A and B are shown apart, each in its own frame.
Chain A
């Protein structure tokens, strides 16, 4: 029972990170219908920015907003300068541009900060480890039904719930959210009724990348480390979560992320002979394939009707 609760808590905190990544993917997909393959690397760039702020002595409470603002700017500029002009040509071109951005940002991070800037690589760094948003020492846990649950896990989970609530308000109670919904359901009509679709899309990309940045910082905090391959698997889990929840449903993305986090940890824990830590990523693969084959619209997405 204790073991089960512990794994559940670990799964939920990991799943929270996947949920954040999936939320970013979904917000972009709703707006423009594109799958942003650079989402993970954009988040990683912002995570490195937060790391750099830490090097300059800025506390994490202030560095995180800075990172998210950088993320917003990065997302908005990407949409305006790269995605929008190419989207007119073909969806394939957008795919290639996001892939190019993936490669470019991964290189840029390495070029500026090296692969592993924290002390374990021997490169001079002021910080001992990546700053965590929540207390993360070995003694920081609470005991529930005999299981030691890390405060960090609780904090991350609460953070994601709060963010989901805020996004719910944004989507349903504000003018901007209404405009985003209108663009998501029909961009042409939205334009006709006077919604500035270009601005809405720019803001969507900005918000998505800022949320990704938050995810990256949280994940680096859980791992106490930041490196160039940090976001590869997180991106694929996030995509699996978005697939499971439905690519146009933010609530589904969060739920999908949490479900996948839990499944992954349970599979790694209870089937450690077969799955274990090595093959955890196989869970994402199986979820993506099965969902796309059986119910391509996911749990909460709207089914797409294809016209020939």
Chain B
């Protein structure tokens, strides 16, 4: 069967497509904070937070094959590092990001030690209990002097006063109005930068030698070890980096809301499960999977957020969801997740690839460093 279209990876058409997609992305990236309403910006920050967390988890689960249902703990480490340093010691929120990164890296690397022996669903069990223990540890009486116990910490964000200047570039103020309460664009840019950092870190790891050893561990641990992958070091780094990256959106959540409590959703096991679900729905083991999954999840939960009130449901859908006492967002997503396991185990991105491959013949870049027109020469037979 001949394909209607042929696309050479690295060819002119492929670069043009990338350029168009990149331009659209950048346009949207700038459109949201400058043109959209505050409510929309706020929803976008929520989506960006989830994206960063899901991408961090993807590095560990999607690429290395180590199941974690405890990433809420690393998210919480980020939130509490920022919270404690800002509210108790008066640091600037930006400085705390680096500290959170280091702390979470160390804790993540420690968690990788049992993961050297414990595999598969048993590891899921260990991480699940870690996720359950974390909020309790925060609430423990012995920790109260540091973490504020069940009440949590407040004043963990930026202190904006009348003195803060407003930055303008030819009449355009990219950070929003820092003088008043209207600081959403500013927070949006912090979130966007964190997402970009996490994306670049994941991309850098995945497309390198380290990434190939992660995938080797995922596909066959014994074979990877035989091929010379150092399991202990690689797993330790994967856990550490994944935890460290996951702590960044945690810091963001503390900066954004200005307070940290042990019972906020992203710090509990339900948060960890949400990270996992959006990642798998989007496509585990693909760079764009978590991004698409998170965007979709936040879109659905935002649209259906007020559906516990019957009047808010569109008339067509009222018979389906009118009986529900709670917004149906998480239920819908759970059904989508289960359905995807039947039809497309690699999520939306995997499905997209399958559909595209039906119409477009993608010629991969030849192995080695040659240009696209000279196919890599096969090694001569001895």
Which residues of A pack against B, CB within 8 Å?
A: 34-35, 37, 82, 85-86, 89-93, 95-97, 99-104, 106-108, 110-115, 232-233, 236, 239-240, 243, 273-274, 276, 278-282, 284-285, 288-289, 292-293, 296, 308
The contact of B273 among A103, A108, A278, by CB within 8 Å, is A103
**Residues of A with C-beta under 8 A to B124:** 35, 37, 95
A289 to B67 Cα, complex, angstroms: 15
The contact sample of 16 A-B pairs, CB cut-off 8 A, is A86-B342, A93-B345, A102-B334, A103-B330, A104-B335, A106-B270, A111-B328, A112-B324, A115-B326, A279-B137, A280-B136, A281-B136, A282-B133, A282-B137, A285-B129, A285-B133
A104 to B114 Cα, complex, angstroms: 31
Contact A278 B277, beta carbon cutoff 8 Å = no
Instruction: Identify the 6 closest CB pairs spanning chains A and B, nearest first.
Output: A104-B334, A107-B331, A111-B324, A103-B334, A100-B337, A285-B129
Binds A, one of B22-30, B139-147, B157-165, B206-214: B139-147
A240 to B342 Cα, complex, angstroms: 30
**Residues of A with C-beta under 8 A to B133:** 279, 281-282, 285
CB distance from A244 to the nearest CB of B (A): 12
B202 at the interface (CB under 8 A from A): no
Number of interface residues of B (CB under 8 A): 44
**Residues of A with C-beta under 8 A to B142:** 273-274
| CB contact list, B288-338 vs A, under 8 A | 323-326, 328, 330-331, 333-335, 337-338
Which residue on A lies nearest to B142, using beta carbons? A274
Contact A95 B132, beta carbon cutoff 8 Å = no
**Residues of A with C-beta under 8 A to B280:** 96
**Residues of A with C-beta under 8 A to B125:** 35, 236, 239, 243, 288, 292
B269 at the interface (CB under 8 A from A): yes
Knowing that A35-B122, A85-B342, A86-B342 touch, tell me 14 more A-B residue pairs with CB under 8 angstroms.
A35-B121, A82-B338, A93-B341, A96-B280, A101-B334, A103-B273, A107-B334, A112-B324, A115-B326, A236-B128, A279-B140, A288-B129, A289-B118, A293-B114
Contact B338 A101, beta carbon cutoff 8 Å = yes
Contact A110 B325, beta carbon cutoff 8 Å = yes
CB distance from A246 to the nearest CB of B (A): 13
Contact B139 A278, beta carbon cutoff 8 Å = yes
Contact B333 A284, beta carbon cutoff 8 Å = no
Q: With A100-B337, A243-B125, A288-B129 known to touch, is A91 a contact of B136 (CB < 8 Å)?
A: no
Contact B132 A233, beta carbon cutoff 8 Å = yes
Contact B325 A112, beta carbon cutoff 8 Å = yes
**Residues of A with C-beta under 8 A to B333:** 103
Contact A114 B326, beta carbon cutoff 8 Å = yes
**Residues of A with C-beta under 8 A to B121:** 34-35, 91, 95
Which residues of B pack against A, CB within 8 Å?
A: 67, 69, 114, 117-118, 120-122, 124-126, 128-130, 132-133, 136-137, 139-142, 222, 269-270, 273, 276-277, 280, 323-326, 328, 330-331, 333-335, 337-338, 341-342, 345
**Residues of A with C-beta under 8 A to B114:** 289, 292-293
Contact A276 B141, beta carbon cutoff 8 Å = yes
**Residues of B with C-beta under 8 A to A292:** 114, 117-118, 122, 125-126
Which residue on A lies nearest to B226, using beta carbons? A308
Contact A276 B140, beta carbon cutoff 8 Å = yes
For the complex, would chain B's binding face be called helix, strand, loop or mixed by DSSP majority? Answer: helix
Contact B334 A96, beta carbon cutoff 8 Å = no
Which of A96, A102, A115, A293 is packed against the most chain B CB atoms within 10 Å? A96
Q: With A35-B125, A239-B125 known to touch, is A104 a contact of B331 (CB < 8 Å)?
A: yes
**Residues of A with C-beta under 8 A to B69:** 99
CB distance from A287 to the nearest CB of B (A): 9
CB distance from B360 to the nearest CB of A (A): 27
Contact B277 A107, beta carbon cutoff 8 Å = no
Contact A281 B129, beta carbon cutoff 8 Å = yes
**Residues of A with C-beta under 8 A to B325:** 110-114
A278 to B117 Cα, complex, angstroms: 29
The contact of B276 among A99, A240, A282, by CB within 8 Å, is A99
A113 to B124 Cα, complex, angstroms: 30
A256 to B356 Cα, complex, angstroms: 52
The contact of A308 among B129, B222, B277, by CB within 8 Å, is B222
CB distance from B80 to the nearest CB of A (A): 16
Which residue on A lies nearest to B335, using beta carbons? A104
The contact of A282 among B118, B136, B222, B270, by CB within 8 Å, is B136
Which residue on A lies nearest to B117, using beta carbons? A293
A273 to B144 Cα, complex, angstroms: 12
Which residue on B lies nearest to A85, using beta carbons? B342
CB distance from A204 to the nearest CB of B (A): 18
**Residues of B with C-beta under 8 A to A92:** 67
Which of B330, B335, B341, B345 is packed against the most chain A CB atoms within 10 Å? B341
Contact B277 A99, beta carbon cutoff 8 Å = yes
The contact of A96 among B141, B330, B337, by CB within 8 Å, is B337
**Residues of A with C-beta under 8 A to B141:** 273, 276, 278
A153 to B263 Cα, complex, angstroms: 31
Contact B338 A100, beta carbon cutoff 8 Å = yes
**Residues of A with C-beta under 8 A to B128:** 37, 236, 239
Which residue on B lies nearest to A86, using beta carbons? B341
**Residues of A with C-beta under 8 A to B118:** 289, 292-293, 296
The contact of B331 among A111, A239, A243, A279, by CB within 8 Å, is A111
Which residue on A lies nearest to B130, using beta carbons? A285
A27 to B114 Cα, complex, angstroms: 26
**Residues of B with C-beta under 8 A to A288:** 125-126, 129
Q: With A37-B124, A278-B136 known to touch, is A95 a contact of B67 (CB < 8 Å)?
A: yes
Q: With A91-B120, A284-B129 known to touch, is A97 a contact of B326 (CB < 8 Å)?
A: no
Which residue on A lies nearest to B332, using beta carbons? A107
A95 to B61 Cα, complex, angstroms: 13
**Residues of B with C-beta under 8 A to A236:** 125, 128-129, 132
Contact B277 A100, beta carbon cutoff 8 Å = yes
**Residues of A with C-beta under 8 A to B345:** 89-90, 93
A14 to B121 Cα, complex, angstroms: 25
A56 to B343 Cα, complex, angstroms: 41
A292 to B141 Cα, complex, angstroms: 29
